[in-house]
Structure 1
Amino acid sequence: MTATATRVLVLNSGSSSVKYQLLDMRTASDSGSAAGTRLATGLVERIGEETSRLVHTPLAAGGARRETEGPIADHEAALKAVAAELAADGLGLDSPELAAIGHRVVHGGLEFSAPTVVDEAVLKEIERLVPVAPLHNPANITGIRTAQALRPDLPQVAVFDTAFHTTMPEYAARYAIDVATADAHRIRRYGFHGTSHAYVSRRTAQLLGKAPEDVNVIVLHLGNGASASAVRGGRCVDTSMGLTPLEGLVMGTRSGDIDPAVTFHLKRVAGMSADEIDELLNKKSGLLGLCGDNDMREIRRRIDEGDQRAALAFDIYIHRLKKYIGAYTAVLGKVDAVAFTAGVGENAAPVRAAAVAGLEELGMAVDASLNAVRSDEARLISPEYARVAVAVVPTDEELEIAQQTYALVNA
C-alpha cells in the first residue's frame, strides 16, 4: 500500500443487490479521530433482472445524484458499473489512493473474531458456513470474488457481522442441548448486526464523555431486522439473535423468540414442511404477520386512526423490547446507557418512549421534548435526573467496516 493510499471502498453484496460507499480515511489517520470522509455512495438493485437500477451519489464535490436503469446481468457487471460511475467522478478503482476493499460478511462463526484479509483459505471457511447463513454468505462470497477479479492486487478485507459477539461467555452463547450434537453441527448463539453494535456502543461512550471500557451499554438495533446487545466495557456479553437472525426481538417479518415446539406442532397438525415453516417464521411473521404491515410509520398511522390490530402488534413489539431491556439490565448489573439505533430506533419516537415507559425504577426515563426532536446527530433524550442515559445514536456500519479495514491494512 502506498503512503497516499487512504481510500477504502466498502461493499455490501446481497443476493440481488450491491450497496457501496467510498471513504477517505485520511482524516482518521491524521487526526486520530473516528472520522472518515465519504466520497461517494450508491446502490445497485434488482441484479439479474431487466429492470436493474443503479443509484450513485458523488459527495466529494457536491455532485448530483445519478440514476440509471437497464439490465445488469450479474455481480461482476454490477461492480463494473459501479467502477464506471466512480471513474466518472475521478474516483476510479484503478486509483493509487485506493488502499483496500472492505466487505460485509454476515456469518464468520467462531473462526473469525476480527477483520480478516481474504485469501482462498478464508473464502473456503466462509463457504463452509453457508448452511448457517444460506441467504447471506453466498452473496458475500460472490461480491468478494468479483472484487478480487477487478483488483487482484488490492487487499480484500472481510468484516464479519458475528465478530463483535464472539466475546460472549460460553454460558451466554451455548444452548441447553446435547453438547456433542451442538458441536457437531455448530449449534450455538452467534449474534448479528455486530458492526452496528460495535459502532453504536463505542459512539455512546463518546457521547457520555467516557472511554468504552468504562461504560456498560444496552444497544437496541431496531430496523426491519432487530437485535439487542449487552455490552460491558466495550465487549459484548449477550445478544438477542442466535444461530440465525431469527431469534430475539419481534421484527418486521420475523417472529423472534418462539417456543421451539411450535415448529413440531405446525408440521404434525398443519402438515407444513420445514421450508414452509422457515418461510412463515422469517418472512410472514413479526409485525407483518400480526397486522399486515411491517413499516412502523404505517403501523403508527393506523394506531392513530383507532386500528386495534395495529395497536396489538405495537404492544407485542414493545413488550418483547422491554423484556430484553430488563434482562440485559440484570446481565450487566450496572447500566450506564440504553442506545436506540437503526431505522426504527433512530426515527420512531413513540417506540423509544413506549420502550422506556415504566422503567423509572431501573433509572431509565425519556424527556418528551428531547425525544420529539428529529436529528441525524447522536444525542441524549433522557432528563438530567435519570440515572441511566437514554441515547439515540445513528448507526454507521459502512464507516465501521472502513475503519476496521483501514486499520488492518495500515497496521
Structure 2
Amino acid sequence: MAKIVPFKAVRPARDKVSLVVSRSYDDYNPAELASQLDYNPFSFLHVLNPAYINLLKASAETRFKSVHNKYAEFKEEHVLKKEADAVFYLYEIHSKNRVYTGIIAGTSIEDYQNNVIKKHEDTLPYRVEYFKDYLHMTGFNTEPVLITYPENKELEQWIGVKKQKRPLYLFTTLNRDKHTLWRVKDKAEILWIQEQFAAMESLYIADGHHRSASAEMLYEEDKISGNGNLNYFMSFLISENDLKIYEYNRIIHDLNGLTKHQFLHALAKDFIVENKAQELWKPDAKFSFGMYLDSEFYALRLKETQFGSVLEALDAQILYEKVLHPLLGITDLRNDSRIEYIPGSKPITQIKQMVDEEEYEVGFMLFPASISEIKELADNNLIMPPKSTYIEPKIRSGLVVYEL
C-alpha cells in the first residue's frame, strides 16, 4: 500500500563529497558556522546561508532567493551534479555506537494524506508555512524525512548483499562517523524494492513532521502546475529495529515558589521518592524518572501505573500531568520560557552542571519511549507532547538533494 519512487537526485561531485556535506544548519553554533563559511568554500552551508553576514536582517523572500541562486552556482561550478536517471540510494551511517542503514527515496503525498504514512507529533502552522515558502522559492530540499517501516527480512537480506558492492561514496566526517552511499539504478532492482514497500500497510514518520507537512502544503498550492515532483517528498526509510530513540530530558528554572521540602513532599503523593545522593542516576524502566535537585539525584517511581490509553501512559505525559503542570505551573510545554529540553544523547552531567550553576533549579531525566508506543499513538491518531523523542540517525545536508 505504500508507494515509493526513485528520483533524479542532485549530489556532490565524488571528489568533493566530504567537503560539501554538513550537519543540519541549526546544529552549528556561531563560531562553528563562521569557521565553515570562512574556510570551506565547498560546504553546503554556503547554499543554506549565502553571504550570511549581509542576509541576517534580510526578508525571508530575499534569503530564499539567495539560497536558490547559490544552489544554482554550485551546480554551474560542478560542485553538485544531477543524476541522468531516476534512482534509489542505499545509505549507511556508521557511528561509534551504532550502524544505521536505509533507503533514500521519494514518498507519496497521497500516502501522507491518506494516513498510510502516519504521524505522532503536532506541527506549528507558522513553521509549516515558512518551510513551504522556502521549498517554493529555493526549488529543492536536502533534508529527508526520517520514516520507519516494519521489520522486513527480504529487504534486510537485500541490504546485506548490496553493501558488499562498490559504493558511490565512502567518506568520514569530523565527528568520526563513516558514511557510505550506494546507487540503486537497475530497473528490476528498483521495481523489486517498490514491491516490498507496496506490501506494507503503513509507514511511520520518526522525524520530520514539519518538513512533510510543508511538502503537502506546497503540493496543494502548486499541484495545478503539473510538476510531478510535488507529488512526493524525499525520505530516508529505515527499519524500525534500526532506529535509536532517545528521550528529551527537562530542566526547569524554578520550583514555582515551593521550597525543596514542600516540593519533595508534593512529589510523594504520586511517586516513591528515593534519594540517590551523588549517584548519576538515570531511569532504568518505564514509569520511573530521574531528578536532580539541590546537588542530589533522586529516583522517582510512579505508584499507580494503570492508564486508559497509550498517551496517558507515556512517560512524558505523566511527568506533565503529575509534576510540571500541577506542581511547577507549566501549562505550555512548547512556549513556556521556564522549561528547556536536553536530548537524551547528551550526558546527564550536562543537566547536573546547568543546575549546579544555578540558572536552573531542577532537572528531570526520562526513560525513552519505545517504537511500539510511537506506532500505537500514530495508529490511534494521538499526538505526543512536545519534545518527547529525539530520534537518530540525523542525515547530513547536501548529500542528496530532491529538486521540486
Which protein has the bigger strand share? Answer: 2
State the TM-score, normalizing by the size of structure 2: 0.32
Q: Say which one has the larger Rg.
A: 2
State the TM-score, normalizing by the size of structure 1: 0.32
